[in-house]
Structure 1
Amino acid sequence: MSQALSQAKISKIFSFSCIALFATVVTGAVTLPTNATKGEGFGLLSHSGTPSATGTSNGYYYSWWTDGAAQATYTNSAGGQYTLSWSGNNGNLVGGKGWNPGTNGRVINYSGTYQPNGNSYLSIYGWTCNPLIEYYIVESYGLYNPLSAALKRGLVTCDGANYDILMTTHTNQLLINSTQTFQQYWSVRNPKKNPRGLISGSVNTGCHFAAWQNLGMSLGSSHNYQIVATEGYQSSGTATITVS
């Protein structure tokens, strides 16, 4: 995918309160990583780097998933900080820190460094249940702009910045033992923040959620996790992000 960050679904672990299981969503398939764990951090255990895991670290929820194709190292640091480095221009990966469950109106602050080489996002990322919705508030990205492969629904100004509102639909995706159709909602900052070094911002999620609702894009009745995520596909890069 040069367009794959949106056209082909990047796999991620999500711990559903609505189905009480770990699942990995992929286009046309599902896999359950054998090395997924929960707890207060984890070690570096595999040739491809840090194994997939979710849990809590220093008072924050974290989610980290990799398909193992890239050399990727994810590290939980003090407070809301995490560090991710990846290389090899191969594979899918995403990780970050935040909260579980998310909320409808949280103001999320982030700061640090973000230096992608290729396809990547830095975003507020989360899921809701009933219905199942995956959402992104994209603050910055590498080479790939999701505008190129999604249905544009409108515009919104939040926190003094302009965002394009997009929607994509994933049809008949296998989740655990059932097939479901779910939608992705997007707010993509335009122009994006500089992805080549120091980066910081504040995102009022309620502003985006209200704009989506006004366009008929309703979130689910309950939230799953809500994190500041760094995501990469067949690329390389580094990120050290502190969330609060």
Structure 2
Amino acid sequence: MKFSSFVIAAAAVASSIATPVNVTEGFGELLARGGTPSSTGTSNGYYYSWWTDGAAQATYTNGGGGQYSLNWSGNNGNLVGGKGWNPGSASRTINYSGTYQPNGNSYLSIYGWTRSPLIEYYIVESYGSYNPSSAATRKGTVSCDGASYDILTTWRYNAPSIDGTQTFQQFWSVRNPKKSPGGSISGSVNVACHFNAWRNLGMSLGTQHNYQIVATEGYQSSGSATINVA
């Protein structure tokens, strides 16, 4: 799972935790090696997903309500985490606010999965040094919520997914220009605007929605984010 080939299937180890909670609590030796272990669950009425390959020093923390924070360092490894809903929705307007300070390859995006067919999707609001538009097939553009987004698609072959190792498509909307990283950030995303534009270009999501989160990702980088989702 590499950024250059459109990373990250967040196939995390399922667990459920009490709220509010820091998911780093109680993992001892594993924490010392790689930070917060992968997990999924619920926190204060929101679904969360956190996945890491363990190579970076990364701490993921669930805060109150829809808030989460992530700190990662070491310029190594692959990770993604955030809060939202499970199942996702084709008509939800998602609001987010907080701080996002990447140093290197990173995304801040609406991130989710569908089944039938299996599709991994991103609505990228901001990113660090790597522009995800540079390594996929451009299909068109769409104007949503007063901003322009490039629409792209690519394939992942024999890659991790919510259903184990699979071959599947990825759908992308990448804000152009991106929201500036490095400090305070906020926005509102009407997912129906993107999903309808994708469908009009022959990119149909699956009929069964899995999770849908506001995610922070990092690949061989460092950074921090504190995001509130509503």
2:11 is matched with which residue? 13
- The aligned runs of 1:107-122 (5 Å cut-off) are 107-122=93-108
Question: Quick one: which amino acid aligns to residue 63 of structure 1?
Answer: S
Over 3 Å counting, the alpha-carbon distance change for 1:66 and 1:173 in structure 2 is: closer
- Secondary structure of the residue aligned to 2:76 is coil
Tell me how large the CA RMSD over aligned residues is: 1.8
In 1, the alpha carbon distance for the partners of 2:98 and 2:171 equals 25
SS in 2 for 1:13: coil
How many angstroms does 1:13 deviate by? 1.9
* Matched residue, 1:213: 199
In structure 2, distance between residues paired with 1:241 and 1:209: 23
CA–CA distance in structure 1, aligned partners of residues 205 and 148 of structure 2: 21
- The counterpart of 1:233, out of the listed 219, 226, 229, is 219
Q: Is the 8 A contact 2:10 2:161 kept in 1?
A: no
> Which residue is 1:165 aligned to?
151
Is 1:67 aligned to 2:53, yes or no?
Answer: yes
- When the two structures are superposed, what TM-score results if normalisation uses the length of structure 1? 0.86
Alignment match, 1:91: 77
| Distance in structure 1 (CA, Å) of the matches to 2:149 and 2:229 | 21
Deviation at 1:175, TM superposition (A): 5.9
Task: Provide TM-score, normalisation by structure 2.
Answer: 0.91
Match of 1:191 in 2: 177
Matched-pair contact (CA < 8 Å) for 1:37–1:52: no
1:21 maps to none
Q: Does 1:50 align with 2:36?
A: yes
**Counterpart AA for 1:5:** F
User: Is this contact kept in 2: 1:93–1:232, CA < 8 A?
Assistant: yes
Three-state SS of the structure 2 residue aligned to 1:192 is coil
1:146 deviates by 0.8
Partner residue of 1:101? 87
**Cα distance in 2 for residues equivalent to 1:108 and 1:176:** 22
1:140-195 per-position Cα deviation (integer Å, ceiling 9, x unaligned): 00000011100000000000000000001113446699763210000000000011
Percent of matched pairs sharing the same residue? 72
Q: Does 1:139 align with 2:125?
A: yes
Deviation per residue, 1:22-47 (Å, 9 max, x gap):
xxxxxxxxxxx6xx533234334221
> In structure 2, what is the Cα distance between the partners aligned to 1:77 and 1:177?
28
Matched with 2:229 is: 243
Q: C-alpha offsets along residues 7-66 of structure 1, whole Å, 9 cap, x if unaligned? A: 16334225xxxxxxxxxxxxxxxxxx6xx5332343342211111110000010000011
Letter aligned with residue 174 of structure 2: V
Does residue 153 in structure 1 map to residue 139 in structure 2?
A: yes
Aligned-partner Cα distance in 1 for 2:166–2:152: 20
Which 4+ residue blocks in structure 1 deviate beyond 4 angstroms? 174-179
In the alignment, the residues of structure 2 paired with residue 125 and residue 96 of structure 1 have an alpha-carbon distance, to the nearest angstrom, of: 9
